[in-house]
Amino acid sequence: MSDSASFTSSPLTLASTPPSSVPSPELNSLSLESIAVSDEDKAEAIKLKGEANKAFTAHDFLGAARLYSDAIEKNPNEPTLWCNRAYARMKLEEYGYALADATIAHAIQLDPRYAKAYYRRAACYMQILKPQSAVIDFRKVLALEPKNETIRAQMVATQKLIRKIEFEKAIEVEGEKSPVERCQEIIAEGGCDVDKAYTGPKLTLENEKYVITHEFIKSMIEWFKDGKTLPKRYVWEIILGAHSQFANTDSLVEIELGDGVTCDVIGDVHGQFFDMLHLLSLTGEPSKTHYLLMNGDLVDRGSWSIEVILTAFAYKWLYPGFMYINRGNHEAKDMNRSYGFEGEAKHKHGEQSYKLFAYVFTTLPLATLVSATEKPLAVEGKSFPIVSPQGLKRFFVVHGGLFSKDEVTLEDIRKIDRIGRQPGQEGLMCEPQILLLWTDPQDLPGRGPSKRGVGIAFGPDVTRRWCTLNGVTGIIRSHEVRQDGYQVEHDGLCITVFSAPNYVDQAGNKGAYIRIDSAGTQKYFQFEATPHPPMKPMAYVQGGLGSMMM
């Protein structure tokens, strides 16, 4: 293990940073029309606002949201406090909470002419993929500020995005050849040969077919570090090589950790290629005694998503039994369109390459069951873990979380027909937005609305019932930034791991990964961000909307 990584192995005693700015229950029944605020409380609110602004500037968005909440308790009649908290919550990806702060019940109700509140709400709608609603709020801003050309340009770009989405839906042809078949045809016709002038790393030809080697991957990574791209043919070969493995698996993959075998679970990487390389220097490469499992959201936001996904797919092609990849909510067309991967893929490798990526993303498994092979021993003072029917620890690794009902079994997940399907079509994959990929844990029992404004949240009782029903020792999921890189919740049954340190160059969080051994023991490793070339996140977002999505 590198000196730059640290780990703990006692998850039940971990005190990690709380994940979100939970709404203050005292304010839920607040009647804004009847609040009388003293001069003393107004002054205290101004002081707290100043402290919150400093925290925000320092990228302590969680601290800023809490301080704005404290200020609101002192003076709930001040619309800028609600609007500022909305912005802090947007940085925490709590778009549902942010919408509530910026909408009519809060800042807009207090001051219907407060243009910034409409703008914040428009930005939230863009984040949760509701561009039509964003356009309505852009128009309200322009009604108040008709000379605001920045807002006008964003509205026009959003309208173009809506037309693009509608056009793409209109030209979809039922029964059309898959991008995999089309790319294979183009290759067979000689339409995607490697330029003879190319001098970079080369795949090996065996019996007129390309094969991948470890030497190629190492050379490819160095090529990427120098800011160079692969020929389109090699990109297609890597994607097709990975696809040949994904397409033959169930939606739930099972891994057994034999004697001496470990598995590292890696959370969101989000196109942060140089951080991923540092991470791989800590985990080591996949091998017969050391598996890697990337738990979704490899792409979007970061501006080296192509390099990240090609590296992961190359390892999958070379080491199919040692390298595993789950699908995340960002391995989907609507997210790729809004958060940069579509633009990046087309810029670097063209339209057909993006289509191929988009299709192969649908073949990624939705979850992985990691099973120990050594029976656990009872530990004095600790309750015995939930185990499989064979008495073994096993962990359900999924990007988001659990469902809107308790009865879902591992077999139900295994049988989900995922290939060729984008989120939100039918069955478990539409509950309502692939809950496997979208849900988040909450502290309260039961189920509740998601702080994201999409999907639901599930409580500790839901987690325990589901784990007990399915003989699962715990759920390992990703999907959310954690300041420490990971967090253990729900009495140790739900663990979040996030592997993009200093997320989008501003969150200041650590990255982490989890190592599981053949006895089902977990260790938690943390690491810091590493320097990267001077390119901002979201560099390839199309239509000039990148600044809104940050």
Over 70: is that where the pLDDT of 430 sits? no
Strand order in the sheet with 511-516: 6-8, 522-527, 511-516, 262-266, 290-295, 323-326
Over 70: is that where the pLDDT of 7 sits? no
Percent of the chain with pLDDT over 90: 73
CA distances from 18 to 22, 183, 247, 390 (A): 10, 46, 38, 35
Percent of the chain with pLDDT over 70: 88
Q: Is 260 left (phi over 0), alpha (psi -120 to 50) or beta?
A: left
pLDDT band at 105 (very low <50, low <70, confident <90, very high): very low
- How far is Cα 107 from Cα 59, in angstroms, rounded to an integer? 23
How buried is 220 (Cβ within 10 angstroms: 0-12 exposed, 13-18 middle, 19+ buried)?
A: buried
- How far is Cα 498 from Cα 482, in angstroms, rounded to an integer? 6
Give the pLDDT confidence of 354-382 residue by residue, as tens digits. 999 999 999 999 999 999 999 987 776 77
Q: What is the pLDDT of residue 372?
A: 97
Q: What is the pLDDT of residue 168?
A: 80
Q: What is the pLDDT of residue 14?
A: 32
Over 80: is that where the pLDDT of 221 sits? yes
- How far is Cα 414 from Cα 387, in angstroms, rounded to an integer? 19
Q: What is the mean pLDDT of residues 268-282?
A: 98
pLDDT band at 542 (very low <50, low <70, confident <90, very high): confident
Q: What is the mean pLDDT of residues 260-267?
A: 98
Closest CA to 475 of 265, 282, 299, 268: 265
For the entire predicted model, the pTM comes to: 0.90
Q: What is the pLDDT of residue 22?
A: 52
CB contact at 8 A, 270 and 297: yes
Q: What is the pLDDT of residue 505?
A: 95
Give the pLDDT confidence of 400-421 residue by residue, as tens digits. 999 988 999 999 999 998 998 8
* 3-state DSSP assignment of residue 311: helix
Tokens standing for residue 460: 């500790």
Give the pLDDT confidence of 384-398 residue by residue, as tens digits. 899 999 999 999 999
Closest CA to 301 of 266, 273, 265: 273
Better-predicted residue by pLDDT, 312 or 78: 312
Tokens standing for residue 533: 């070339």
Q: What share of the chain is helix, strand, coil (3-state, %, to 5)?
A: 45, 15, 40
Which residues does the annotation mark as catalytic? 330
Over 60: is that where the pLDDT of 19 sits? no
Give the pLDDT confidence of 445-488 residue by residue, as tens digits. 999 988 888 778 999 999 999 999 999 999 999 999 999 999 99
Q: What is the mean pLDDT of the chain?
A: 89
Better-predicted residue by pLDDT, 275 or 77: 275
Q: What is the pLDDT of residue 170?
A: 78
pLDDT band at 174 (very low <50, low <70, confident <90, very high): low
